[in-house]
Amino acid sequence: MIYSKDLATPIEYLKGVGPVKAEALKKELKIHTFGDLLLHFPFRYVDKTKITEIADITEDSQFIQVRGKLTHLSTKGEGRGKRLVARIADQTSFVELVWFRGISYFEKFLQKGKEYLVFSKPTFFRGKPQFSHPEVEEITNPNIPLSSRLMPIYHSTEKLKAKKLDTRGLARIIQQLLQQLTALSIPEIFTEEFIGDQQLMARYDAFKNVHIPVSEKHIASARYRLKFEEFFCFQMRLLRTKNVRKKLEGIVFEELGEKFHGFYKENLGFELTNAQKRVLKEIRRDTMTGSQMNRLLQGDVGSGKTVVALMTMLMAIDNGYQACIMAPTEILAQQHYKSITEMVEGLDVKVDILTGSIKGKKRRNMLDYLELGLIDILVGTHALIEDSVKYKNLGIAIIDEQHRFGVEQRGRLWLKNTPAPHILVMTATPIPRTLAMTLYGDLDVSIIDELPPGRKPIVTLHRYDKDRLVVFGFLRQQLDKGQQAYIVYPLIEESENFDYKNLEDGYASITRAFPSPKYRVSIVHGQMHTVDKDFEMEQFVEGKTNILVATTVIEVGVNVPNASVMIIESAERFGLSQLHQLRGRVGRGADQAYCVLMTGHKITKHGKERIETMVATNDGFKIAEVDMTLRGPGDIQGLQQSGFAGLRMANIAKDQRILQRARSAATLLLDEDLELEKEEHAILKAFLQTQAEQLKLEWGRVS
């Protein structure tokens, strides 16, 4: 938002907003200034000339308007249950309106026999529609004035509604604001030429039309303009980071030393794949140039990213630097800690782990060791980027599962050393290539597109619940061959009890079908204590149990090469990338692996497509493409968080086309004027700078 003086005015100075409302706006919607209020966009518009007949109201009805005569008005109930009930009738039927608050006001305002326009989203109570706390307007002039034909609908909250700031109340203060602002308060940030080339609505007009629309067409142009602007600024930030970075000083890893070579000769138990070698070369090249590396490593589950990460860290250590690797969950951090410790055995590399659960003296000691340089590799969770964590000389930071970390957090790692450490982000959630280019414009991309040899592609099958006995028979065969298996149940967030019951029932039937002592079953779920969870997991990892029954807590992190069967219950409830992640838990050894997707008979169309995709392919990139078309990229787990600060209206899922255009426009502009030094770009530059400050982007070197 620019950031003119007017727009920086605190919200309490707006007419109609006193200190009480201002407080509520700040608390509930983070609206502190005039500018913030302007950015509170409507999420929908209602055509006020459209009147729904009461008989046509259905459970699917959204915000609608009805028009009718008030036939009844009375209060019911006592004390807290007291409510005002009115009845409005048109020629087709009648509907009840209910108020629990503001009763005395509406009692006076509403009059029997008069005609009203009622606006609300109906709810159904005992099969009948009703409006609770609707907007009501008396019809005095039968012709509704045209200027207010399209009514913007705003998100509000219960607390705001109680302060008369429901959608209508918000509309009122926003209109008040727009009345007192002129085009000077909302200055254009693009040049006239640019506006013409891109065919954009002027900035001021866009804001005005979004909130006080003249027509549907105006709304469309206004929204296009605002989305374009958001994407453009977002791309400028990314592209400028990339460009500026080229000149950013980086640590030089002069040579490969005894640890790297020692690991390669003595500890690495297999031949690297060509893809792994290629990526290592790319990293080697980056770390010798004297510029900071910012690289994204994409590789499907099981493609062997960990060993690449480790060898990269050894490059740093050989050159006298420290390394850290950050994982999204404690379980995954533990797993990395364990496997890295094993892999560097005998190499005199000191590995330690820092997570949120490590506290007190232990933590303090460790932080001291770290600062003294007594730890070579620090494994951990988010805890690694906290301010209290100081390194002696951090040479490289590795982030596993990037989609859960944003640009900002990456930025904070930059600050852990001067010059900034090299950064390698790794992700197994493949993002379609086209999207990756636009999203990670600030990163160079490496891809491991090859699985270690000897892996047989996982065979994926779809089976219905009624065939469970056959599936269990198959599972028994596999277990009797000495293999292990996972059985996964979906996690239903809204109802933990049901979820738990689901899992418990499953567990019971599995222990019946696979009785002890011949078979042993572990169980892991989200409500368990870490100690118990770890114990059960440990049992499975060590091969002491044959089956691990779990909710999706095993999604990331578990690596048990001997497990060859993955059975996913109610598979239709999982998203594609989740299914793919889960499937990736098997097929890590030399044996043929199977993934069985269990579903009921009725599956939704999308559910079916997901299952079919899983059966058809093991290719994570293809799956990601399908996932994107089914859900839109915005829903792909965590994508919205990964550095999208500043996107208020634009949606990377739905607005791909605008994103592409904004990106090419940003590229062109930077080619022409990288530092935005030209006179005509001064406003844009100031705007971007203020925005960067506002978004608190801590990658400070970006001007």
Position among 272, 603, 653, 695 found at the interface with ligand ADP (CB under 6 A): 272
Question: Closest approach of Cβ 272 to ligand ADP, in Å?
Answer: 5
Query: What mask of x and - would describe binding to ligand ADP in positions 581 to 610, judged by CB under 6 A?
Result: -------x----------------------
State the residue for tokens 């206004």. 222
| 3-state SS assignment for residue 214 | coil
User: Whose CA is closest to 90, among 64, 66, 118, 125?
Assistant: 66
Position among 163, 305, 583, 663 found at the interface with ligand ADP (CB under 6 A): 305
Question: Closest approach of Cβ 634 to ligand ADP, in Å?
Answer: 25
Rounded distance between C-alpha atoms, residue 562 and residue 540, angstroms: 10
Question: Closest approach of Cβ 505 to ligand ADP, in Å?
Answer: 32
| The token pair that represents 368 in the structure block | 């001291």
DSSP one-letter string for 172-198: HHHHHHHHH--TTTS---S-HHHHHHH
Question: Closest approach of Cβ 521 to ligand ADP, in Å?
Answer: 24
Position among 13, 124, 270, 464 found at the interface with ligand ADP (CB under 6 A): 270
Rounded distance between C-alpha atoms, residue 469 and residue 459, angstroms: 19
User: Whose CA is closest to 166, among 109, 121, 223?
Assistant: 121
| Enclosing H/E stretch for 189 | none
Question: Closest approach of Cβ 433 to ligand ADP, in Å?
Answer: 18
Rounded distance between C-alpha atoms, residue 13 and residue 18, angstroms: 8
Q: Quick check: 428 binds ligand ADP (CB under 6 A)? A: yes
Query: What mask of x and - would describe binding to ligand ADP in positions 385 to 424, judged by CB under 6 A?
Result: ----------------------------------------
Specify the stretch interacting with ligand ADP by CB under 6 A; choose among 154-162, 271-279, 622-630, 670-678.
271-279
- Residue 451 DSSP one-character state: P
Q: Quick check: 559 binds ligand ADP (CB under 6 A)? A: yes
Question: Closest approach of Cβ 203 to ligand ADP, in Å?
Answer: 46
Residues in the interface with ligand ADP (CB under 6 A) total 17
Q: DSSP alpha helices (H): ranges in 201-303? A: 203-211, 216-245, 258-262, 274-286
Query: Of 175 and 339, which CB lies nearer to ligand ADP in the complex structure?
Result: 339
| 3-state SS assignment for residue 64 | strand
* Centroid of chain to Cα 668: 29
Q: Which residue is nearest to ligand ADP (CB)?
A: 304
Residue 236 CA neighbour count, 13 Å, CB half = 25
Specify the stretch interacting with ligand ADP by CB under 6 A; choose among 72-80, 300-308, 458-466, 544-552.
300-308
Position among 31, 301, 313, 447 found at the interface with ligand ADP (CB under 6 A): 301
Question: Closest approach of Cβ 373 to ligand ADP, in Å?
Answer: 27
User: Are 435 and 344 spatial neighbours (Cβ–Cβ below 8 Å)?
Assistant: no
DSSP one-letter string for 79-110: GGG-EEEEEEE-SS-EEEEEESSSHHHHHHH-
Specify the stretch interacting with ligand ADP by CB under 6 A; choose among 4-12, 211-219, 269-277, 603-611.
269-277
Q: Quick check: 302 binds ligand ADP (CB under 6 A)? A: yes
Question: Closest approach of Cβ 266 to ligand ADP, in Å?
Answer: 15
Q: Which residues contact 635 (CB under 8 A, 6 or more apart)?
A: 653
Query: Of 102 and 561, which CB lies nearer to ligand ADP in the complex structure?
Result: 561
Rounded distance between C-alpha atoms, residue 592 and residue 313, angstroms: 33
Query: Of 88 and 428, which CB lies nearer to ligand ADP in the complex structure?
Result: 428
Query: What mask of x and - would describe binding to ligand ADP in positions 351 to 390, judged by CB under 6 A?
Result: ----------------------------------------
Question: Closest approach of Cβ 594 to ligand ADP, in Å?
Answer: 18
Query: Of 306 and 322, which CB lies nearer to ligand ADP in the complex structure?
Result: 306
Position among 273, 409, 460, 577 found at the interface with ligand ADP (CB under 6 A): 273
Question: Closest approach of Cβ 120 to ligand ADP, in Å?
Answer: 51
Rounded distance between C-alpha atoms, residue 402 and residue 386, angstroms: 17
User: Are 77 and 83 spatial neighbours (Cβ–Cβ below 8 Å)?
Assistant: yes
Rounded distance between C-alpha atoms, residue 197 and residue 193, angstroms: 6
User: Whose CA is closest to 220, among 150, 164, 162, 284?
Assistant: 150
The amino acid present at 579, given as its one-letter code, is: L
Rounded distance between C-alpha atoms, residue 598 and residue 466, angstroms: 9
Query: What mask of x and - would describe binding to ligand ADP in positions 492 to 531, judged by CB under 6 A?
Result: ----------------------------------------
Q: Which residues contact 271 (CB under 8 A, 6 or more apart)?
A: 453
Query: Of 291 and 329, which CB lies nearer to ligand ADP in the complex structure?
Result: 329
Question: Closest approach of Cβ 528 to ligand ADP, in Å?
Answer: 24
User: Are 89 and 54 spatial neighbours (Cβ–Cβ below 8 Å)?
Assistant: yes
Query: Of 256 and 272, which CB lies nearer to ligand ADP in the complex structure?
Result: 272
| The token pair that represents 139 in the structure block | 């019809």
Position among 42, 134, 262, 299 found at the interface with ligand ADP (CB under 6 A): 299
Q: Quick check: 276 binds ligand ADP (CB under 6 A)? A: yes
Question: Closest approach of Cβ 327 to ligand ADP, in Å?
Answer: 10
Which residues are near ligand ADP by CB under 6 A? 270, 272-273, 276, 299, 301-307, 428, 452, 559, 561, 588
